[in-house]
Structure 1
Amino acid sequence: MKYFKSSTLVVLISILMGCGGGGESESKAAAPEPIAVVSDPPQDNTVKKTADIVADADFDFSTKFNLKLDAKLAGLDQRAYLNVCLAPEEGNKVNLNSCLFRAPLNENGLTESIMISHSEIKLVAQVWFYDGSTTPLQYEWQYQGEQAEQSFLIR
């Protein structure tokens, strides 16, 4: 029994010492180094890597905007149809497969909002008449950077 007590005591002491129960030198975990924040762009304004790009906090990198379509033709006494399409190259016809908006138009007119993907486009609106005897009316629109709200008035 004395042998059992002695061996148990030796085992317990070795377990306590193995768990860090003694000694004066304690190792501390090294604190992570702070990350440097770039606040100013490079002086030569040459971007060499993505980390060199600096943007305002309120800049969202989105080129989308809403365009308000407002179509009302005075004296419209017949059925008509409105196409809003990408403007063709000079001298070419409008490609009807490039239309962003199509809708019937009557004497009440219409007001719609459409999402445009970027500001570097030019649009053309055509008003076609169902009877086919009248030449389609055509209107052009281009982005106006100085205006807060973009609108395409078709009158």
Structure 2
Amino acid sequence: MKTKLPYFALIGLLTACGGGGGDGGGSSAGSADSGSPSTTPADASTTEDDVTLRSMSDLSIADGFSFNPVMGHSLDVDISAYSTERAYVSVYGEYVENGDGSYSPNYNSRISSSSLDNGTVSLDFCVSEAQQYVLAEVWFYDGSAPIQEILDTSSMSIIQ
């Protein structure tokens, strides 16, 4: 029983402390007259009068500015002078250049793809206006190396 008494006394002291609170204790009449300004809802309403409210008609936007960060593009592929065999074209947004000058696309970044009909196809797709270049690959079903082109998104076509 003697060993339980200190535990009960310790528990009684901890609960009597009242824990934290962070402001140095309870409120008292002396702390209200500390000389520091208080923020009350009345004080907050006086600052609202100083704020100038604006409407959408007050905005000025330059001519030609677009709020849409996605741009529509069209890619025209014509390799009919090179080959009319079965082929497939893919467009990628992310790629790395290999040491031999070829490119390795990130296959998860494919933007668009389609099969070619007699060596031609036209693809329509959207990319971010920040995307300046894309990689286009034309694969042949015979297993030969693909035709790879880095295209500027401002003017896109592959003609071989």
User: RMSD value over aligned CA atoms?
Assistant: 3.1
**Of 111, 130, 152, which aligns to 1:142?**
152
Could you tell me whether the CA contact under 8 Å between 1:86 and 1:121 is conserved in 2?
A: no
For the pair 1:119 / 2:130, whether they are aligned, the reply is yes
The one-letter amino acid paired with 2:123 is E
1:79 maps to: 86
2:114 maps to: 103
Alpha carbons of structure 1 residues 108 and 80: separation in structure 2 relative to 1, 3 Å: closer
Could you tell me whether the CA contact under 8 Å between 1:80 and 1:105 is conserved in 2?
A: yes
Alpha carbons of structure 1 residues 59 and 139: separation in structure 2 relative to 1, 3 Å: same
- How far, CA to CA, are the matches of 1:65 and 1:57 in structure 2? 17
Which contiguous aligned blocks of 4+ residues in structure 1 show a shift greater than 4 angstroms?
A: 34-37
The one-letter amino acid paired with 1:117 is S
Deviation at 1:76, TM superposition (A): 1.5
Q: Indicate the SS of the match to 1:89.
A: strand
The one-letter amino acid paired with 1:154 is I
1:152 maps to: 156
2:38 maps to: none
Q: Provide the TM-score with structure 1 as the length reference.
A: 0.55
Deviation string 1:67-93 (CA, Å, 9 cap, x unpaired) is 111001024231111011114134362
Work out the number of aligned pairs and report it: 103
2:72 maps to: 66
Alpha carbons of structure 1 residues 102 and 58: separation in structure 2 relative to 1, 3 Å: closer
- How far, CA to CA, are the matches of 2:84 and 2:74 in structure 1? 24
Gap regions ≥5 residues in structure 2: 1-51
Q: Provide the TM-score with structure 2 as the length reference.
A: 0.53
- How far, CA to CA, are the matches of 1:109 and 1:119 in structure 2? 28
The percent identity for this pair of structures is 26
Q: Indicate the SS of the match to 2:108.
A: helix
Deviation string 1:75-121 (CA, Å, 9 cap, x unpaired) is 42311110111141343621122110111113151112211122334
- How far, CA to CA, are the matches of 1:113 and 1:83 in structure 2? 12
